[in-house]
Amino acid sequence: MADSDNSRTLPSITRRNLIAGTATSMVATMATEAFGSTAPNRHKPVEDDPAVLGWREWRAAHDHYVKANQALLDRENELYRTTAWPAVEIKRPALRSGGFSIGSNQDLDYYIAKSWVGVEARPEIEAKLAVKHAEWDQAAKRMGYHLAKRAEMEAWNRRYKLAVSLMNTPALSLAGATAKLHSILEMKIPVNRRHPKWGPVDSEFRASFVSPELDMLLADLERIGRRDRG
């Protein structure tokens, strides 16, 4: 009880940094050790726990998704850096910005309906849009953007399906229950290049997606797992 109480008095940033930093190593260690071996009936052997096996598969898919996500962001950054956004600029001095952009035929319909663009200008604007979108698509294809986008989506789908499968798999050990909670928390946090792949250590960002109570529960499970391993 004292250990649990002390864990709850840690500063929030320190506590969440510890949680984010130890979650993966904790579950990985618990998943490779059949703890409780001195009391054969106390715990189900970890190697027999389908939740642990499912977590390992999900973890590999999560790692793959992170790499695919970063590859897509790299292609996007290169595309935006080297290729102009496919849009036609329309001047309108009455606006504070001095004008506006039309990026699609739907945009064009909207501004014609508002009488910001004359109907007679439609053919010329549509022709310019077609050229700009063709240039954009050619650049995207040349840089491998579409392939990276498809790979990222496929990786996301696999990670999601494995996460759902893991949630529907009964845990037969403490390691299995911890693994399921770890997956739940990580799936709530958006993956992006500004944060570590196992969840951001920035406490405010993490708290936007994961409640502190769940983080504390994960910490409790980690503490119990360490204690039981001796």
Torsion of CA 141, 75, 153, 168, to 10 degrees: 170
Per-position pLDDT tens, the chain of length 230: 333 333 333 333 334 444 444 444 555 555 444 333 332 333 455 668 899 899 999 999 999 998 999 999 999 999 999 998 899 999 887 777 888 999 999 999 999 999 999 999 999 999 999 999 999 999 999 999 999 999 999 999 999 999 999 999 998 888 888 888 888 888 887 776 554 444 445 666 666 676 676 777 777 777 776 666 55
- 108 and 221 inside one domain: no
- 91 and 106 inside one domain: yes
Give whole-number Cα distances, 148 to 37, 133, 134, 222, in Å: 46, 19, 19, 37
- 127 and 33 inside one domain: no
What's this model's pTM, rounded to 2 decimal places?
0.66
Classify the C-alpha dihedral 115-119-124-128 as positive or negative.
positive
d(CA 58, CA 45) in angstroms, rounded, equals: 20
| Domain finish residue from 99, 120, 143 | 143
- 99 and 131 inside one domain: yes
- 161 and 211 inside one domain: yes
Q: According to the 3-state scheme, what is the secondary structure of 8-53?
A: HCCCHHHHHHHHHHHHHHHHHHHHHCCCCCCCCCCCCCHHHCHHHH
Contacts of 185 (CB under 8 A, 6+ apart): 23, 199, 210, 214, 215, 218
Structural domain range at position 191: 2-81+146-228
CB 225 within 8 A of CB 35: yes
CB 204 within 8 A of CB 76: no
Classify the C-alpha dihedral 47-53-72-190 as positive or negative.
negative
- 154 and 219 inside one domain: yes
- Which amino acid type is present at position 206? R
- 15 and 123 inside one domain: no
When divided into structural domains, the chain yields a total of 2
